[in-house]
């Protein structure tokens, strides 16, 4: 029962992390304009995401514009897009496969060994998906930090980490933790011994009879 609960916990954590992947990819707040310098105009805030850039006025009105061309984007943006999409797709297949391997479901109930292996495959896919998102968010965050501390970057053009990065990091951590729990929830194989042969009292004695 404890093993089944551990598997269910890992599946829930991994699914929550996968939802975090989708949210982080969809929202445009991957980086936001910085107000660290002097004489910074705070009447509007600029956000940039994977698919569009937005400007929010002090009145709360937001205007967004999608990127015109994919080929004009830098390599970091293109690689981040690809890794996030791969993480979402791998997470979807991992959720479907891990659901089949859950002990609380009746799928493959006749073969416990195969059911456990299916659950481990789903956990491994969650691990790979979490690593893809972790690499994407870390790479994008490193670029933001490098440009922020670059002396040649104008003060008004510096950006800081947006909420999407933190959501991506949290989702990656949950997916990796959940995938690890799914991989560790496989029951240990018990050593099988041949059945002991009972002693038959009516069996003829093989010893010699002495008079």
Give 32-71 pLDDT, tens digit per residue: 887 765 545 566 788 888 998 888 887 778 888 888 887 7
Continuous segment of H or E residues that includes residue 46:
strand 44-48
Distances in Å between the Cα of 195 and the Cα atoms of 88, 192, 198 are 50, 9, 9
**Residue 102: count of CB within 10 angstroms of its CB:** 21
pLDDT of residue 175: 95
The gap from C-alpha 27 to its chain's centroid, in whole angstroms, comes to 17
Read off the CATH number of the domain in which 155 is found. Answer: 1.20.140.150
pLDDT of residue 69: 80
- Number of domains within the chain: 1
Give yes or no for residue 196 having a pLDDT over 90.
Answer: no
SS3 71: coil
Residue 154 in any domain: the answer is: yes
- Regarding predicted confidence, which is higher, 70 or 164? 164
Residue 10 in any domain: the answer is: yes
Residue 8 in any domain: the answer is: yes
Give yes or no for residue 92 having a pLDDT over 90.
Answer: yes
Give yes or no for residue 160 having a pLDDT over 60.
Answer: yes
pLDDT of residue 38: 55
Q: Hey, CA dihedral for 174, 180, 186, 187, is it positive or negative?
A: negative
Residue 22 in any domain: the answer is: yes
Residues spanned by the domain of 87: 2-27+74-184
pLDDT of residue 2: 45
Q: Taking all residues of the chain, what is their mean pLDDT, rounded to a whole number?
A: 81
Residue 197 in any domain: the answer is: no
Residue 18 in any domain: the answer is: yes
Buried-state track 160-172, b at ≥16 Cβ within 10 A, e below 16: ebbebbebbbebb
On whether the CB atoms of residues 122 and 101 are closer than 8 A, the answer is: yes
For 167, the token pair is 């959501």
The Cα angle at residue 176 between residues 125 and 13, in degrees rounded to 5: 95
Distances in Å between the Cα of 210 and the Cα atoms of 3, 54, 160, 207 are 60, 106, 100, 9
Residue 39 in any domain: the answer is: no
Q: How does strand 44-48 pair with strand 52-57?
A: antiparallel
pLDDT of residue 70: 78
Q: Angle at which helices 163-184 and 75-100 pack, to 10 degrees?
A: 30
pLDDT of residue 190: 46
* DSSP secondary structure of 104-123: TS-TTTT-HHHHHHHHHHHH
Residue 33 in any domain: the answer is: no
């Amino acid at each position: 029962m404890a093993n089944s609960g551990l598997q269910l916990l890992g599946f829930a954590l991994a699914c929550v992390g996968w939802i975090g992947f989708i949210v982080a990819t969809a929202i445009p707040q991957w980086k936001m304009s910085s107000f660290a310098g002097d004489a910074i105009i705070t009447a509007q805030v600029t956000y940039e995401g994977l698919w569009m850039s937005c400007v929010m006025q002090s009145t709360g009105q937001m205007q967004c514009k999608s990127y015109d061309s994919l080929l004009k984007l830098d390599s970091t943006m293109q690689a981040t897009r690809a890794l996030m999409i791969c993480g979402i797709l791998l997470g979807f297949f991992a959720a479907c496969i891990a659901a089949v391997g859950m002990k609380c479901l009746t799928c493959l109930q006749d073969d416990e060994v195969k059911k456990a292996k299916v659950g481990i495959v789903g956990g491994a896919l969650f691990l790979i998906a979490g690593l893809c998102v972790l690499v994407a968010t870390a790479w994008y965050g490193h670029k933001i930090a490098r440009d922020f501390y670059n002396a040649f970057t104008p003060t008004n053009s510096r950006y800081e980490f947006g909420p999407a990065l933190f959501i991506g990091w949290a989702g990656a951590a949950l997916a990796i933790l959940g995938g690890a729990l799914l991989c560790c929830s496989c029951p240990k194989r018990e050593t099988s011994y041949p059945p002991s042969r009972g002693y038959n009292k009516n069996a003829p004695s093989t010893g010699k009879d002495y008079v």
